Amino acid sequence: MPIVPTSRPHTSASPSSVPISRPEIQPRARIRRPVPAVLQSVESSSNAIAVTPVEPGKGEYEVGYKKPPKHSQFKKGQSGNRKGRPKGAKGLNTIVRNIYTKKVTVRGASGSERMSKMEAIVHKTVEKSFSGDMRAIDKSLKLYAQCVPDEPIAVAAPVESASTADMDAHDKAILAAYRRTAREEDDE
């Protein structure tokens, strides 16, 4: 075997600087395995579809977009998400629906009555709006407009259209002073 010289020049007689002889590296021989007959029929182009062998008697199964190989498909009766939501588990929408649709007994002026919790809430809101609660009135009107869009809500005429004949002298003086200040602000 030939001795391969090192890249550094030999300057001293130390054991670390002695040239090392190595065997020549031989390339490994490649072994070509035979390709199955099913795969030989596929074109060698880059956009060819690979074909996997299937049971005899059935046609070839093409693997591609939305067609995974048979061995990696879900087995029949086996879940794809084994640790998924268990049977009987409820989502938030179901829980809220169940709570608001439960029946409760409400005592009113006409006696006891059974109704859902949602109905009781609407009754209470309407009752508060009749007692003069402005928030309840606003909520009731919005709820009515949302639930009954076909019927318009009758709104009282604005106060500005009232005639000055119903005012006394003091009210007329206040209105005149207000108009003067409004004109002065517009001029500025």
Does 135 map to a domain?
yes
Other C-beta atoms lying within 10 Å of the C-beta of residue 185? 8
Q: Judge whether 115 lies within some domain.
A: yes
What backbone torsions phi and psi does residue 114 show, to the nearest 5 degrees?
A: -95, 130
> Residue 118 is part of which domain span?
93-147
Distances (CA, A) of 130 to 4, 10, 116, 155: 107, 110, 21, 16
139 inside domain = yes
How many structural domains are present in the chain?
Answer: 1
Question: Is residue 133 one of the residues assigned to a domain?
Answer: yes
With respect to residue 167, please indicate whether it lies within any of the assigned structural domains.
no
Contact 125, 139 (CB under 8 A): yes
Distances (CA, A) of 93 to 9, 84, 99: 83, 18, 10
Q: Residue 32's pLDDT is what?
A: 75
Q: What is the DSSP letter of 102?
A: S
List per-block mean pLDDT (blocks of 10 residues) for the chain, which spans 188 residues: 58 61 78 66 51 56 88 82 84 94 91 94 93 93 88 62 70 88 81
| Torsion from C-alpha of 138, 144, 150, 156, nearest 10 degrees | -40
Q: Is 3 helix (H, G, I), strand (E, B) or coil?
A: coil
pTM as predicted:
0.39
Q: What are the tokens at 173?
A: 């003086």
First vs last C-alpha separation in the chain: 109
Structural domain contains residue 141: yes
Within-domain flag for 130: yes
d(CA 112, CA 109): 8
72, part of any domain: no
